[in-house]
Chain A
C-alpha cells in the first residue's frame, strides 16, 4: 500500500477538519469526493506532509513521514498540486517547473529534459517561454500539474486539478490521470463526480471530516439506484444518496 492512514484526526483550534479517517490505497487513481468543507484538502495536506495529524497514523510509500529522513524520501517521490496554487508571475512556464524540479532535488543534468516532458504532457509546450502572468487560469492550473509530475512521482496528490480547465482539456487531463495511475498512486480530490467516473478506479466520499463511503465508482453508482436521490447522472445520484444517508445517520445519533 502506498497510502496507509489509520484513525487520523486533524484539528485547527476548535474546528475538527478531519475525524478518525482510515484509508488505504495502492497504485491507481483514487478519487476523493465530497462537498465543500468536507475535509478533503486537509487530508491531502497531511498526505503531502505539509501538516501533521493531530492524532492517528500516516504511512506513505511505506515510510513514516513523522521522521525527517523518511519525510524527505517521501517528498522526493511526491507530486502535489494544492487547491489554491499561486504562482510567481515573473517566471516563465519552464522556469516555474524547473524551479520545483530543483526543489525536488532532481539531478540538475536531467532537469531540462524532465521539465520539457512535463510541460509537453500538459500540452503547454508552445507556451514554455511565456511568463506566468500572461496565462489564463486554466493554463496556470496545467502549469501546476506540470510541476507536480515533473519528478515522475510515485505518489501524486491533486487537489481540484480540473478547476478552471475547459471541457477539451478536462477530457485530455483525465486521460493523463489514467496514464499516471498505471505506475503511481494518484489521489484526486474533487467535487466534480464526472472526473471520478472517468478516471478513478477507486473512490472515497468524505463528509464532515469523515469518510462515509469507500469503494469503486460502480459501487457508488449502485448506492444511488432506486433511492430517488438528486442528480443528473448515476454517479451523482450515488453521491447524493451516500451523503444523505450519512447525514441522516449523524442526525439520528
Chain B
C-alpha cells in the first residue's frame, strides 16, 4: 500500500479560541517566505550612500547630522519606493499566482489573510529601517556626536515605511499583475520627489506635514540646537506620524472593500477603517496648518506640551580668551579652542573699552520665523555684560557636508568678523558707514587684512550686507586711516566715541 492509499485518519477536532495563535503562526510562515528580505541589501547600500555617508561629512552634532537623513527625509526616500514596490508584489501575490479562489474559500476572511501578509512585509521593512537607523546612530555615538538623537523623527520614518508598505500592498491587491511592483515603486519615488521639491519652497502651513520638508534653516522641523539646548519638539513629527498612519490605515481599509475580502460586516468594517484613516490624515494636515516657530522648534498648539520645553541642563565647558571666560555647551566642547583662538585677538583689542563683555556664553541657536531677517549669531546683554554666542548658526570647523571644508583659520576669521560686527552695534544690519569702517579697522588689527575682508564676508553664512566688490571706497579708506593709527591712539578714540559709533551718530568725516 502506498502512502496515497493509506486509510483516512480521524478528523482533526476543531477548537475555538485559537484564532490569535493561529494568526501568529500564519505570520511566522509569511515572515519566513516574504520577498522583502531580498531587497533589503540593496536598500542598505542605498541608505549607506545616500543617508549615512553625506551626514557623516557634517559636524558631529545630531541636529546637523540628522538634518539630511531625517529632516529632509532621505532615509524615507531610500526605503519608501522599494518598500512600496515589494509590498505591491506581495499584495498582488494571490491574484498573480492564481490563488485568490483558494484563499477566498478558506474560513479566515481573505482581508485578514491579506493583512497578515502585509504585516509580515511591513515588519521586515520597519525592522530593516530601525536596524539601519540604529547602526547609523551607533556610528554617531562612536564618533562622539553631540546632542541627543531625534527619536520622534525616527518615528516619522517608521510611520513612513509602514505607510509605503500599506499603499504598495493596496496597489498590488487591486492590480494583481507583475507590473504592480514597478508602478508602486515609481509612484513612491514620484511622491517623495514632489514632497522634497515642495519642501524646498513651502516651509509653513499645510506643507509642514510633508515628511521630507526641512530646508536649510530648519524652519518647520526643529532648530539647529534641538536636542542640545532644548528637547526635540515632537509636535510636527506627531502630526506627520498621524498623517502617515492615516494613509496606512486608509490603504489597508481599501483592501478590505472588494466583495471577496470577507462578509458584509467585514466590508463595512473595512469602509469604516478607510474613513478613519482618511480622517486621521486630514486632521494631521489641519494641525500642521496651525504650527508656528519657536526657539525650541515648530510648535503645534493642540499637540504642544509646554512642560517639554524646559531647557536641557548641562555643565558648560569653559576656557579663556584674552582673560575673558568663554563657556560652551559640552556638545560644542571640541571647538572651544577654536572659539577662544578666534575671540582672543579682538577681545584683547577692545579690552577696557565700554561695552566689552565680561564673559562669553553660548546660547541656543535660533532661526527667527520667516520674514524676520537672518539670524544674528552674536548679541550683547545681561549684567554684567555678556556676549551671547549662537554657535549653531555658524559653520563649524571641519567637514561641513554641503558647504565644503571649513578650516580652523576660516572659522576663527568668521568669529572675529562677527564679534567686531556685533561690537560696533551693527546687529542684524550691515551697519552705518562709520560702524563698517571701525569694524574693518578692528579686524585689520586682529589679523584680517582689509583687502581680504569682503571675501570673508561673502563666505560667512547669513552675514548681513556682505561686500560684493573689492575693499575700496570711502568706508575702506576711512578704515585704513583708523587702522594706521597707533594702537593706543585708536583705543583712546574708541573709548571716547564708541557710544556714538554704536548709536550711528557719526559720519565718516568724524573718524580720525
**Cβ contact within 8 Å between A76 and B14:** yes
Q: Considering the chains assembled together, what is the distance between the CA atoms of A147 and B101 in angstroms?
A: 13
Q: Considering the chains assembled together, what is the distance between the CA atoms of A240 and B401 in angstroms?
A: 82
**Cβ contact within 8 Å between B33 and A88:** yes
Is B21 in the interface zone, CB < 8 Å from A?
yes
**Cβ contact within 8 Å between B2 and A80:** no
Q: Mark B84-113, 1 if CB is under 8 A from A, else 0.
A: 000000000100111101111111100001
Q: Give the shortest distance, in Å, between A46 (CB) and chain B (any CB).
A: 11
Interface residues of B in 11-26 (CB under 8 A from A): 11-15, 18-19, 21-26
Q: Considering the chains assembled together, what is the distance between the CA atoms of A110 and B11 in angstroms?
A: 11
Is B7 in the interface zone, CB < 8 Å from A?
yes
**Cβ contact within 8 Å between A99 and B263:** no
Q: Which residue of A lies closest to B23 (CB)?
A: A102
Interface residues of A in 128-157 (CB under 8 A from B): 147, 151-152
Q: Mark A110-141, 1 if CB is under 8 A from B, else 0.
A: 11001001001111010000000000000000
Q: Which residue of B lies closest to A152 (CB)?
A: B11
Main secondary structure of the interface of A (DSSP, over half): helix
Partner of B99, one of A86, A98, A120, A151: A86
Is A45 in the interface zone, CB < 8 Å from B?
yes
Partner of B14, one of A45, A102, A106: A106
Interface residues of A in 81-110 (CB under 8 A from B): 82, 84-88, 90-91, 95, 98-100, 102-108, 110
Q: Considering the chains assembled together, what is the distance between the CA atoms of A152 and B11 in angstroms?
A: 5
Q: Mark A176-208, 1 if CB is under 8 A from B, else 0.
A: 100110110000000000000000000000000
Is A251 in the interface zone, CB < 8 Å from B?
no
Is B402 in the interface zone, CB < 8 Å from A?
no
Q: Given that A85-B99, A100-B106 are known contacts, is A108 also in contact with B18, CB under 8 Å in the complex? A: yes
Q: Considering the chains assembled together, what is the distance between the CA atoms of A175 and B3 in angstroms?
A: 11
Q: Which residue of B lies closest to A110 (CB)?
A: B12
Q: Give the shortest distance, in Å, between A31 (CB) and chain B (any CB).
A: 19
Interface residues of B in 33-51 (CB under 8 A from A): 33, 35
Is B468 in the interface zone, CB < 8 Å from A?
no
Q: Give the shortest distance, in Å, between B15 (CB) and chain A (any CB).
A: 4
Q: Give the shortest distance, in Å, between A111 (CB) and chain B (any CB).
A: 7
**Cβ contact within 8 Å between B105 and A50:** yes
Q: Give the shortest distance, in Å, between A28 (CB) and chain B (any CB).
A: 13
Residue of B8, B93, B264 with highest tally of chain A CB at under 10 A: B8
Number of interface residues of B (CB under 8 A): 46
Residue of A72, A90, A100, A107 with highest tally of chain B CB at under 10 A: A107
**Cβ contact within 8 Å between A105 and B22:** yes
Partner of B7, one of A80, A82, A91, A179: A179
Q: Considering the chains assembled together, what is the distance between the CA atoms of A82 and B98 in angstroms?
A: 9
Residues of A within 8 A of B11 (CB): 152, 183
Q: Given that A105-B19, A105-B108 are known contacts, is A88 also in contact with B5, CB under 8 Å in the complex? A: no
11 A-B interface contacts by CB (under 8 A): A68-B262, A68-B265, A82-B101, A84-B98, A86-B98, A91-B33, A105-B14, A123-B4, A147-B102, A169-B4, A183-B8
Sample of 14 further A-B pairs with CB below 8 A, known A82-B101, A85-B102, A152-B9? A50-B104, A68-B262, A68-B264, A88-B99, A99-B29, A102-B108, A105-B19, A105-B106, A105-B107, A120-B3, A120-B6, A147-B102, A172-B4, A179-B7
Interface residues of A (CB under 8 A from B): 45, 48-50, 68, 71-73, 75-76, 78, 80, 82, 84-88, 90-91, 95, 98-100, 102-108, 110-111, 114, 117, 120-123, 125, 147, 151-152, 169, 172-173, 175-176, 179-180, 182-183
Lowest 6 A-B CB distances belong to which pairs? Answer: A86-B98, A68-B263, A86-B97, A103-B106, A172-B4, A75-B107
